Chains A and B, each alone.
Chain A
Amino acid sequence: MEPFDYLSPSSIEEAVKTLASKGDQARIMAGGTDMLVQMRAGRRTAPLVVDIKEIPDLNVVSYDATNGLTLGAAVPCYKIYQDETLSAAYPGLMDAASLIGGIQIQGRATIGGNICNAAPSGDSIPVVIALGGVCNIAGPNGTRQLPVEEMCTAPGRNALADGEILVSVSIPAPQAKSGASYLRFIPRNEMDIAVVGVGSSVQLDASGQNFVSARISLASVAPTPVFAKEAGDSLAGKPVNEETIQAASELAQAAAKPISDMRGTIRQRTHLVGVLTRRTLNIAIERARGG
C-alpha cells in the first residue's frame, strides 16, 4: 500500500474538522474490509486515513419499540445479528448482516461502511432501503438526514460532501403485521458478490390478508442500489395473492437496468429480479403474519 497518515479521532467534531480541512485528501475508514482492499489494489488513494471506530456516537446501537433503531456507522455486522432484541425486531436486516462476506469479514464490516462504499452489489443496502432507513450525517455545517436510497450516487461514490461523515443509520420501529427479507443470488453457498439482490418489506392490515404498503429495493442491477418505488407502491391496498405479487415483481424487473458482465447477463439478472422479488415478498409476508 502507498504510505498514508492515520488518525483515529475520538469525537465527531474532531473527525469533521479534520475531514473538512483535508478535503479529498482524507478517507474515512470503518471496518476497512472494502477500503483496505481498494487501497492495496491502487483503486483508491488517501494521504490520510481517518479511522472512525473510536468515536462513541458511531458505536451506538440503540433500539426501542417506539423510536426504532439507531445503528452507529462503525458497528460491525456481528454485533447486529448477535443482539437478540434486534434479531427479533429486524429479521430482514439480519438476513443481510449475516451473509456479508464470511465470519472474519462480519467481525469488521459495518452497515454504514457498506452504504458509503456505494457498491451496486452492497448486500445490506436494499433491505435498509426497504425498511425506510435514513442516514444521519454530520458535517461542518451541522447535521442533516438523507434517505438511504439517496446516499449512493454512482459506483463507489456517495452523497457525503467534503468534511461530512455518516454517523448512524436510523430505521423506523417495526409495526404490527410488518416484515422484511433480503435474498441474493450467488453461484456459491457463501462468500460471493450478489449477481442480483432484492430486499423487500411489507406492512399488512390486521387480517394479514391485504397490503397496507410495501417497499422493494434491488442490488447489482444498476450503477447504484435501486429503490423500486413503483413496484412497492403497486401493492398498497391490494390483497395478498399470487397476482399482486407477480405484478409487483414485473414492476421491479422494469426498474432494473442491469448490464451483462462476468457475474451474469442482462437476461439472467432480469429473470432473477422477478424470482427474488417474489421470494422476498413471500418471506416478508410470512414474517409479517408472525409465522
Chain B
Amino acid sequence: MAGVTQVQTTLNGEVINFLCEPRQSLLECLRDVLGMTGTKEGCNDGNCGACTVIMDGRIVDSCLVLGVEAEGKDITTIEGMATPEGLHPLQQSFLENAALQCGICTPGFLLASKGLLDQEPDADEGRIRHWLAGNLCRCTGYDKIVRAVLQVSKAK
C-alpha cells in the first residue's frame, strides 16, 4: 500500500490505468500524471469549483478526491464533453452567451452545469444559481453563465 499504486478507472468512457501516490489528488493525477490539463486548479481546498469533475454521476471537487479513490469509478472531465461531431450544447451556449472571459473557471462551470442538467433537464434559474454556488467566477459576474445554462435547460 505504500508508495506508488496502480489505479484503474473509467475516464471519459475509456478504461484506463495510471500510477499515483496516495497523497496525490485526483486533480493532480489528471493534470500531472495523465496530462489532461483541461481540469483547472483554483483554490485547491474545495471552495472555488474550478476542478469540478463528474464522478459516478455526481459533481465533486477533484482536489478533494484522492487519485487512489478513483479506482473502479466512472469519471467525466471537460475533455469528455465535446464529441467529434461538435461541442456539447452547454459549451455552445457558453460561447453564444459570452459566459466566459479568462476561462479558468469555465471547465468547472461546464461540468457542474452538465451534472445538473443530466439529472434535472428542466432546472430553473433559481435552481441553477443554487447549484452553481460551489463554482466561483471572478470575471463574468455570473449572470451570463446562468443565462447560458438556462438556454440549454428545458425550463427556459
Give residues in A with beta carbon < 8 Å to B. Answer: 1-8, 31-33, 36-37, 40-41, 49, 51, 53, 76, 78, 101-105, 107-108, 189-191
Q: How far is the CA of A103 from the CA of B114 in the complex (A)?
A: 13
With A6-B66, A103-B115, A104-B52 given, is the CB distance from A190 to B133 under 8 Å?
yes
Give residues in B with beta carbon < 8 Å to A. Answer: 1-2, 5, 21-23, 25, 44-47, 49, 52, 55, 58-61, 63-66, 68-69, 112, 115-116, 130-131, 133-135
A-B contact count (CB 8 A): 84
Q: How far is the CA of A257 from the CA of B65 in the complex (A)?
A: 36
Quick check: B22 and A49 within 8 Å, CB to CB? yes
Quick check: A6 and B49 within 8 Å, CB to CB? no
- With beta carbons under 8 angstroms apart, the residue of B59, B116, B133 that contacts A191 is B133
A-B contacts, 25 listed (Cβ < 8 Å): A3-B21, A5-B1, A5-B2, A5-B22, A6-B68, A33-B61, A33-B64, A40-B44, A41-B45, A49-B66, A51-B69, A101-B134, A102-B49, A103-B112, A104-B49, A104-B52, A104-B61, A105-B61, A105-B134, A107-B59, A108-B60, A108-B61, A190-B133, A191-B47, A191-B134
7 new A-B contacts, CB < 8 A, other than A105-B46, A190-B133, are A103-B115, A103-B134, A104-B46, A104-B60, A104-B134, A108-B60, A191-B134
Q: How far is the CA of A154 from the CA of B21 in the complex (A)?
A: 32
Question: Which single residue of chain B is at the shortest CB-CB distance from A38?
Answer: B45
Contact partners of A103 in chain B: CB under 8 A: 59, 112, 115-116, 131, 133-134
Q: How far is the CA of A3 from the CA of B24 in the complex (A)?
A: 9
Measured CB to CB, the closest approach of chain A to B148, in angstroms, equals: 18
Q: How far is the CA of A184 from the CA of B22 in the complex (A)?
A: 36
Quick check: A104 and B112 within 8 Å, CB to CB? yes
Contact partners of B55 in chain A: CB under 8 A: 107
Contact partners of A31 in chain B: CB under 8 A: 64
Contact partners of B23 in chain A: CB under 8 A: 1-4
Contact partners of B130 in chain A: CB under 8 A: 190
Contact partners of B47 in chain A: CB under 8 A: 191
- With beta carbons under 8 angstroms apart, the residue of A8, A40, A51, A190 that contacts B45 is A40
Measured CB to CB, the closest approach of chain B to A6, in angstroms, equals: 3
Q: How far is the CA of A36 from the CA of B66 in the complex (A)?
A: 9
Q: How far is the CA of A33 from the CA of B25 in the complex (A)?
A: 12
Measured CB to CB, the closest approach of chain B to A124, in angstroms, equals: 17
Contact partners of A76 in chain B: CB under 8 A: 58
Q: How far is the CA of A2 from the CA of B66 in the complex (A)?
A: 13
Measured CB to CB, the closest approach of chain A to B111, in angstroms, equals: 10
Contact partners of B134 in chain A: CB under 8 A: 101-105, 190-191
Q: How far is the CA of A3 from the CA of B66 in the complex (A)?
A: 12
